[in-house]
Chain A
Amino acid sequence: MEAAIIDTVVDRVPEGDRGAALELIDRAVRGDRAAFDRLVEPHLAAALGASRLITGQEADAADAVQDALLASWQALGSLRDPRLFEAWFRRIVIRSAIRFARRRGPVLELDLEAPGPSDSIEREFDRRQIARAFARLDSKDRVLLTLHHYWQLPASESAQLLGVPEGTVRSRVHHALKRLRASYDAEVRR
């Protein structure tokens, strides 16, 4: 395998040397669950976080990630390039979360704990109201904002993940943010 691939893999598998990183992928492809665990572990928290934002519920987020783990485990043999593992896994997670979000419909359980007095004074925007505004968005907007503002993916990667042109992603993120702001303003006026 080329050095560049090894470097990238090592970047995303924090433990072990280059040989170990490659071995993890190889072992996982051959059915080693422990290797798969080590492979996905660095991405698990972010996957759960993104799923929670998209589904709106922690239980659904866990189920969505479990489904994504199973799907990626089953499909690992079709992964052509280890460099793409993270993006590949991310795509499966997002798609799984979208399924759960569509099944669930709108959710309004994304409440934060009430901010303390000092928070309210110091902040220009109230996080709790942002959270409520975010929860009122449809799942497409939540996905876009999750990719852009939580995972902080470049538009090119979001475009690849969603299967739309890069310009479309930029435009949709812009409009999603506008809708979030409008939703937030409505919350504030309540």
Chain B
Amino acid sequence: MNDKFEDEVERTLAHLAKVDRSTTESVRAAIALLPDRRSNRLPRFGRPISVWPDRRREFAAAGAVALVVAVVGFSMLGRFQTQPVGPGSPAPSTPAAPATASASPVVGPTPTTGASQQAPQEGLAVFAGDSLTVLGWSPDGSKFAVLDQPRGSADVPSLPTVRMFDRSGMEIGSVQASDFGWLDSSSYVILRLEVPAGPSPTVGGQHAYLGRIGSTELTPLGTYDWIVAGPSGSVALIRPWNWTVNPPPTYVVVSAGGAVSAPRQGYAMAWSRDGSMLAVLHVTGPTGAHGTGSRPYGWPEVVRSTGESVASARQVASDLTGPAAFSPDGARVAFLGDSPASPKDQKVVVLETGTGKVTTLSTPCAFTWASSDQLLIAHSAGASSSASDRILAWSASTGQLTDYGPGDIVGASGEGTVVTGFDGIPGLTWTSGPAGSPSSGTIALWDTTWMGVPDVAWSPDGSRLVLIAGDENANYMDAVLFPG
């Protein structure tokens, strides 16, 4: 490359980069208008949310998404007046969301009774960081925790930290940890990676500790690989395991006081909502007849928290790395598993805890329980998001699998409110049907690449939502409490 050319490029760029002094001053002056940092309260939408029904208080968890993007893509620095964003206010220069309130072919969610959610009018950005994950609410709904994983650098190592917040979004404490589970409203279990000193440190498992809010003391519980925490304060710890059939994985259950049970066989996957049951997998492969690639799999079993078996399905090979979720009433648990008829084609497999009956459903890219009767399954036709992707609804009572609507993102409270959308498309649709007439609306998001399925955690009573969303381009995330 011509050095003279490069020199001239530098001079040209320096010249091109000049901006008017008035521009610099106006940008600087806008600093004085920044929102209050201590509360991080986000601004209200720029104009009335016309697509939302009058029964706003019953809906709207999904509005948090727009608020998140408002943080990322907007400022209060004068631009709000010209470019409002929010439900009913399409983001400029962005592709339209695939579904709209009026034109959506959505078959609304089955109405549920008693589902009532507070209406969020504002979201509260409680934390921003490089990479965030919601770790769930305390059993009484008074606190929630977020895992903050900074990228780090050559100078500053990345130290994952669990940040705990009260119900109002105020950070009340933090602890260095890579995994976390609530035991009750004041105590928790963490996993912490502690690398021994030395030139070639080896790591075997992570150290588990029992901690308490307001105290820096940690009680060691031993070495474990993983925490499986449930919404009611149930915690299982997976013991160090090398991903082989023999020896098989084992886990322990931690009681509220920190007592650890004797090891039990199986790989803990998910707790029921009330903490009375735990779904586990008994590893049989990758050397068996089922499974794809080298992913470990096993047959599912539902056990009581005390260890007794409730139901099992030895004919199913379920993926250890896949999701598992109990229906809100605990009557069923859904896994990602292989169909016995088509071993390499992963399906949603539903195991009834009362009867042991197994139902194999379609191939998903995500699933969630919208209610105890309705399981929503998102599909993707290809490796990437496509406008033709659909969400199916399976009714446990009728066994019918019907079209729910477009999307490949789906998240639900289990109490009637559902958020759907498309990966990479800045627009989400919410639906809710607690009053027998499902309502829906479209939330237009700012120009941003949506980072996959939003990470959400509903408070135990369904009235509050913590949502993680971010901007792939901007490379940071926000944790937003909704309503703020």
Contact = CB atoms under 8 A, between A and B. Distances in A.
A36 to B, nearest CB: 6
Interface size class of A (residues with CB under 8 A): 35 or more
A32 B31 CA distance: 10
Contacts of B13: 53, 134, 145-146, 149-150
Interface in B111-158: 125, 127-130, 148, 150, 153, 155-156
Nearest to A45: B24
A75 B73 contact: no
A160 B153 contact: yes
Contact of A66 (B5, B79, B448, B473): B79
A78 B31 contact: no
A53 B16 contact: yes
Contacts of B156: 80-81, 84
Interface string A54-94: 00001001110111011101111110110110000001100
B1 A178 contact: yes
A123 B8 CA distance: 9
Given A62-B23, A145-B9, A160-B153, A98 B34 contact: no
B15 A78 contact: no
Given A45-B24, A48-B27, A177-B1, A74 B12 contact: no
B17 A181 contact: no
B475 A70 contact: no
Contact of B76 (A70, A71, A149, A150): A70
B129 A78 contact: yes
B242 interface: no
Contacts of B150: 78, 80
Contact of A127 (B8, B40, B127, B474): B8
B19 interface: yes
A44 interface: yes
Interface string B70-87: 011111111100000000
A19 to B, nearest CB: 22
Contacts of B72: 67, 71
A62 B17 contact: no
B217 interface: no
Contacts of A67: 72-75
Contacts of B19: 45, 48-49, 52, 58, 61-62
A7 to B, nearest CB: 14
Contacts of A99: 73, 447-448, 471, 473-474
Contact of B71 (A29, A74, A95): A74
B36 interface: yes
Contact of A69 (B1, B15, B75): B75
Given A36-B31, A130-B12, A163-B475, A76 B37 contact: yes
Given A103-B93, A134-B16, A66 B75 contact: yes
Interface string A124-135: 110100110010
Given A78-B128, A112-B16, A149-B10, A98 B24 contact: no
Contacts of A91: 475
A47 to B, nearest CB: 9
A50 interface: yes
B20 interface: yes
Contact of B17 (A53, A73, A104): A53
Main secondary structure of the interface of A (DSSP, over half): helix
B481 to A, nearest CB: 14
Contacts of A80: 150, 156, 159
B244 interface: no
Interface in A4-43: 29-31, 33, 36-37, 40-41
B383 interface: no
B446 to A, nearest CB: 9
Interface in B207-235: none
B252 to A, nearest CB: 34
A110 B19 CA distance: 12
Nearest to B171: A77
A127 B128 contact: no
A115 to B, nearest CB: 10
B32 interface: yes
Nearest to B8: A125
B403 to A, nearest CB: 33
B388 interface: no
A180 interface: yes
Contacts of A180: 9
Interface of B: 1-2, 4-6, 8-20, 23-24, 26-28, 30-32, 34-38, 40, 71-79, 92-94, 125, 127-130, 148, 150, 153, 155-156, 159, 447-448, 471, 473-476, 478
11 contacts: A33-B34, A36-B31, A37-B28, A48-B17, A69-B30, A69-B31, A70-B34, A78-B127, A102-B473, A112-B12, A181-B2
